[in-house]
Amino acid sequence: MKNSNNIIENAKNTIIAESKAINNLANLIDFNFENAVKNIYKSKGRVIITGIGKSANIATKIVATFNSTGTPAVFMHAADAIHGDLGNVLQDDIVICISKSGNTPEIKVLVPLIKNYGNKIIAITGNIDSFLGKNADFTLNTYVEKEACPNNLAPTTSTTAQLVMGDALAVCLLELKGFTSKDFAKYHPGGALGKRLYLRVDDLVSKNEVPKVNEDDSIAKVIVEISEKRLGVTAVIKEDKIIGIITDGDIRRMLNKTTEINTIVAKDIMGKKPKTIHKDAMAVEALDALENNSITQILVVDDNNNYFGVVHLHDLIKEGIF
């Protein structure tokens, strides 16, 4: 294999080259960026993001980032735009055009059409003196000295710079909007990420049995309750209040000490200060409580501090929280 010994070195050089280019982007941020963000923030319309070639691929990612952080955005391919898709652009929309050279034929045709509609144009380009750079209302400079490609041809460093500029716009906008983790959860309800943001203890408890015994119940009854409810634990309650907890570990430790269990009742072996969590707490809070206390189950209480149920570590694993 030709130059196989240089693979690691080439990979490192690529990462270093791109990281240097990204670092230099900070020096290119100016009033154009600030005004672009303010205009998007004040706009009553959407953000239409367009490009061609690899820049179009970057545009789709920036659209996804905008939408997931509270800024409505739509992708429009520059080539398709001049063949009918320009109808996607509404009166109050702001258009972001992405192009390294800023001089591609499609961009030269598209920009005047958008301006005729009266929409603001934000350019993300590596050439601020290009057609796009000079005709945009706000020009964001993503100049890179060269591509990571050894032939300085394949879009690598330049597309990474475009992507980072898009991230910078999205982050500044979400800061202005006061976009919180709760807002983020609205747009990410699926998967483990969404569940970490919206799933509550109550959602987990409702799927489980509710093991409980009275303080004077026999050990035989305790064992049956733990076994049947299959959570490895039972609460010991008195007038709906938790006064203790018994785990399957407590049962094993008791049997190691004695087999004379006929006179032993629940209160004799229960733990008297069990950890609890409110049913409205977030599921991730339950996970933190389990980890911090090195336990696998935690008892759940309601607004009146009455016993409500049990959350097991397995519940969190099943939901992808752990």
Q: Tens digits of per-residue pLDDT, 243-275?
A: 999 999 999 999 888 877 888 999 999 999 899
Cα distance between residue 247 and residue 267, in whole Å: 13
* pLDDT for 172 beyond 70: yes
Q: Which residues pair with 138 in a beta bridge?
A: 122
Provide mean pLDDT across the span 227-234.
93
In a 3-state reduction of DSSP, which class is residue 131? helix
What are the pLDDT digits (tens) for 275-315?
999 999 988 899 999 999 999 999 999 999 999 999 999 99
Secondary structure of 206-255 as H, E, C letters: CCCCCCEEECCCEHHHHHHHHHHHCCCEEEEEECCEEEEEEEHHHHHHHH
In this structure, the number of other CB atoms found within 10 A of the CB of residue 82 comes to 15
Which domains are assigned to the chain? 4-179 (3.40.50.10490), 201-318 (3.10.580.10)
What's the rounded mean pLDDT across residues 172-190?
Answer: 78
Q: Listing from the earlier edge strand, what are the strands of the sheet with 138-141?
A: 73-77, 47-51, 94-99, 121-125, 138-141
What is the pTM for the complete model shown? 0.69
- 2, pLDDT greater than 70: no
The per-residue pLDDT for 47 is 97
pLDDT tens digit sequence for 95-104: 999 999 999 9
Residue 289 gets which letter from DSSP? H
Buried-state track 252-286, b at ≥16 Cβ within 10 A, e below 16: eebeeeeeebeeebbbebbeeebebbbbebbbbeb
Q: How would residue 153 be classed by pLDDT, with cut points 50, 70 and 90?
A: confident
Residue 127 has pLDDT above 60, yes or no: yes
Residue 237, pLDDT score: 94
Q: Report which of 261, 24, 282, 16 is spatially closest to residue 145, judged by C-alpha positions.
A: 24
Q: CA–CA separation, 64 vs 4, rounded Å?
A: 37
> Rounded to whole angstroms, how far apart are CA atoms 252 and 246?
11
pLDDT of 139 higher than 80: yes
Structure tokens at 229: 């409810």
Hey, is 74 helix, strand or coil? strand
Is 208:310 a contact under the CB 8 Å cutoff?
A: yes
Question: Quick one: which of 226, 223, 267, 262 has its CA closest to 244?
Answer: 267
Q: What pLDDT score does 3 carry?
A: 60
pLDDT at 223 over 60: yes
Average pLDDT of the segment spanning 140-159: 90
Beta bridge partners of 77: 51
Q: Please name the residues in contact with 193: beta carbons below 8 A apart, sequence gap of 6 or more.
A: none
Question: Is 77 labelled a binding residue?
Answer: yes
CB atoms within 10 A of CB 178: 8
Residue among 75, 137, 127 nearest 104 (CA): 127
What gap in Å lies between CA 290 and CA 308, rounded to an integer?
A: 17
Q: What is the pLDDT of residue 240?
A: 87
CA distance 132 to 109: 10
> Using one digit for the tens of pLDDT, what is the confidence trace for 27-75?
999 999 999 999 999 999 999 999 999 999 999 999 999 998 989 999 9
pLDDT on residue 189: 61
Evaluate whether 246 touches 168 at the Cβ level (below 8 Å).
Answer: no
Q: In this predicted structure, what is the pLDDT of residue 207?
A: 87
Question: Which is it for the CA torsion 101, 104, 109, 110, positive or negative?
Answer: negative
User: What letter does residue 27 receive in the DSSP assignment?
Assistant: G
- Helix (H) or strand (E) holding 80, with range, is helix 78-81
Answer whether 142's CB lies under 8 Å from 165's CB.
yes
Of 230, 213, 215, 227, nearest in space to 315 by CA: 230
Q: In this model, does residue 193 exceed pLDDT 70?
A: no
